[in-house]
Amino acid sequence: MKHNTLSNLLSVAVLLSLMVLAAAMVFGAATSVEPSAPNSLSIQSNTTTAYPNGTVLNGTRGYIYNVELNESQPTFKWVGYVGNINGEYALVDSSGKALYDWNIATVTGEVYATKEGPYISAATYDDVSPYHGGIPYWPNITCVNSTIITGEGGAFNHTSTDEDSYTNTFKDTGFTNPGFFTSEVEVTNTNVIEGSTGNCYGANLNTNNTDESENGNWTQVILTDRTIQYRSAVLDVWRYDVIYASIIENDSIGYNGNNFDFQFLLPQSGLEGNQPNVAYYFYVELI
């Protein structure tokens, strides 16, 4: 079924330019540098597939026509973000004043996104909603397991049997996770929540309109931080954030043949009709 409003066509590729100041100075104590909010973020453009007028068929009376239709249908279950990063390292104080800074010619690291969600306080621990909200607790980072993948697909109302569903998009096989660090935590296929068996879940996004699942480029990995446990008389409730990690590929050929530093695929509601957009917080870690 085709939708009449572009707001429901969430197959959008948005170009972002990010500026990050990634460093810290602590007097008399060591500290770790964690992913941080970009200093600035601006949308340069957006695009989607428009709906043209219908194709004309002019049949002759008395004939039966066998017609084959080919359609590339925009998905409304996802939103895409692609873009470039302008960065520097700096030795700064709490007010942002730099003692010295270094421009970055080749950016490496990761871009992270986590969905906006209500913060769950201790007073509402009987609420079984799993989302913690707020800033992820980076020291707890692991890959998600199949339980969280299935739960997220349900939370976004994706029908699991649909080709473009959450569970058919992010898998623990058929994609390559080269391994990386989030702050001081190494993310490998053995670092899965609760020591679950299986690999990390994720996907490899396209290069020049070509599937990269075999080549291992444009890697996106699904993480979690399992932040807080609330205990009641009848159940234990873990709060967590789901974090989407995109490994930076400096000035590399992206999905449309243009060069980007990162590409993202983020879920939206799978329900038909006019649904609210799901907002995401972005973080950057340059290494």
Q: Assign 3-class secondary structure to 105-155.
A: CCCCEEEEEEECCCCCCHHHCCCCCCECCCCCCHHHCEECCHHHHHHHHHH
Q: Is the pLDDT of residue 11 over 80?
A: no
Is there a domain that residue 227 lies in? yes
Residue 94 located in a structural domain: yes
Which pLDDT value is given to residue 6? 31
Most confident of 17-26, 86-95, 153-162: 153-162
- The mean per-residue pLDDT over the stretch 271-283 comes to 91
Q: Which residues, in sequence order, are bridge partners of residue 187?
A: 180
Residue at 63 is within a domain: no
Task: Kindly report, residue by residue over 79-116, the tens digit of the pLDDT.
Answer: 999 999 988 888 988 888 999 999 888 999 999 999 87
Would you say residue 251 lies in a domain?
yes
Considering only residues 147 and 130, tell me which one the structure prediction assigns the higher pLDDT.
147
Residue 53 is predicted with a pLDDT of 64
Instruction: Please give the residue range of the domain that contains residue 210.
Output: 6-49+72-286
pLDDT of residue 285: 94
* Domain assignment of residue 262, yes or no: yes
Question: Of the candidates 230, 228, 227, which has an alpha carbon nearest to the alpha carbon of residue 126?
Answer: 230
Pairing of the two strands 78-92 and 13-21: parallel
Q: Does the residue 190 lie in any domain?
A: yes
More confident residue, 173 or 120: 173
Domain count, the chain: 1
- Whether 54 maps to a domain, the answer reads no
In a domain, 138, yes or no: yes
Please state, for a pLDDT cut of 70, what percent of the chain lies above it.
77
How is residue 120 written in tokens? 């769950």
- What are the CB-based long-range contacts (under 8 Å, 24+) for 88-94? 88/20, 88/21, 89/22, 89/23, 89/286, 90/21, 90/22, 90/23, 91/23, 91/25, 92/21, 92/23, 92/24, 92/25, 93/25
- Read off the pTM: 0.79
Does residue 51 surpass a pLDDT of 70?
A: no
